[in-house]
Amino acid sequence: MDLIDALRTTGAARNFHPGVVSDEVLHRLLDTARFAPSGGNRQGWRVIVVKDPEAREALRDIYLTGWYEYLAMVASGLVPWAPFTDRDAEAVAITRAHEFAELAAAAPEPGFAESLHQAPALLLILADLSALAAVDRDLPRYTLAGGASIYPFIWSLLLAARAEGLGGVMTTMPVRREDDVRALFGIPENVAVASLVALGRPIAAPRRLKRDPVGSFAWLDRYQGPAFSADE
């Protein structure tokens, strides 16, 4: 598979054909993803392959509480849990989460969130905080840099899955209830929940993705300066 084509067509897949993803395939994906970059090559990622049916259902229930809050905030015109947002408006929006739970319950078919426990493969991605060089740790804002040593691993995992004819999606929703996830899987305090990855053989064929053009986010010499272009 051409690398550039893979980068331009590997989108999120949430609907999968039935059937498990074999341990052999999962091991091969992880064996490739481990070559992702990380600060100091400390490789702080940790992975739990979730197979137990009861654990899967519990993880789905943890996911759903945040998911309905997410939908309620989007319906109110908010970016869910944005570091800069109207917290009062967010609190009001969340009170409507039960409405979206009721809509989901009445739907003829369960959505991705409601059927999460049935995904062919579920991988809980964790971060060993003692291995992260979070250079923005002490800044008076939301910390971001530590994720640079974890999320490239997840993207490599998804690209490796694409090469195997699989698809998947990374979701951070379980982070909302990290303590519950820790209790469910016996995760120690120095290890954070980074993401949940669902994998399977996608129903929809890969297609060319739509994204904003380079000039909308890349500028010359200053923030929101002249748009950067190939003609410069």
197, β-bridge pairs: 123, 170
Residue 224 domain-assigned? no
Burial call 12-21: b when 16+ CB within 10 Å, e when fewer: ebbebeeeeb
From CA 62, how far away is CA 40, in angstroms rounded? 33
* pTM over cut 0.75: yes
Query: Is residue 222 one of the residues assigned to a domain?
Result: no
Amino acid at 96: R
Tokens of 119: 């995904």
Q: State the Cα torsion 57-60-64-65 to the nearest 10°.
A: 70
Residue 11 counted as domain residue: yes
Residue at 119 is within a domain? yes
What is the mean predicted confidence (pLDDT) over 21-35? Answer: 98
pLDDT given at position 140? 95
Reduced to 3 states, what is the DSSP secondary structure of residue 14? coil
Location of structure tokens 């498990």: 20
Tell me the residue range of the domain where 180 lies: 3-204
CATH for 87:
3.40.109.10
Question: What six digits make up the tokens of 213?
Answer: 């053009």
Asked whether the predicted pLDDT for residue 125 surpasses 80, the reply is yes
The alpha carbon torsion through 50, 51, 56, 57 (nearest 10 deg) reads -170
Q: In what order do the strands lie in the sheet with 167-171?
A: 45-49, 121-128, 191-200, 167-171
pLDDT at residue number 232: 58
**What residue spans of 108-230 are helical by DSSP H?**
151-163, 178-185
Residue 209 resides in a domain: no
In a domain, 41, yes or no: yes
Q: Is the pLDDT of residue 128 over 70?
A: yes
Tell me how far apart the terminal alpha carbons of the chain are, to the nearest angstrom.
32
Identify the pLDDT of residue 24: 98
Instruction: Tell me how many domains the chain contains.
Output: 1
Q: What is the pLDDT of residues 56-85, one digit of tens each?
A: 999 999 999 999 999 999 999 999 999 999
Q: Which residue has the tokens 């947002």?
A: 85
Measured CA to CA, the distance from residue 94 to residue 88 in angstroms comes to: 10
Instruction: Quickly list DSSP for 114-149.
Output: TTGGGSSEEEEEEEEGGG---TTTTSSS---GGGGG
Residue (of 155, 148, 195) closest to 173 by Cα position = 195
Alpha carbon separation from 72 to 19, 53, 112, 136 (Å, rounded): 32, 29, 17, 31
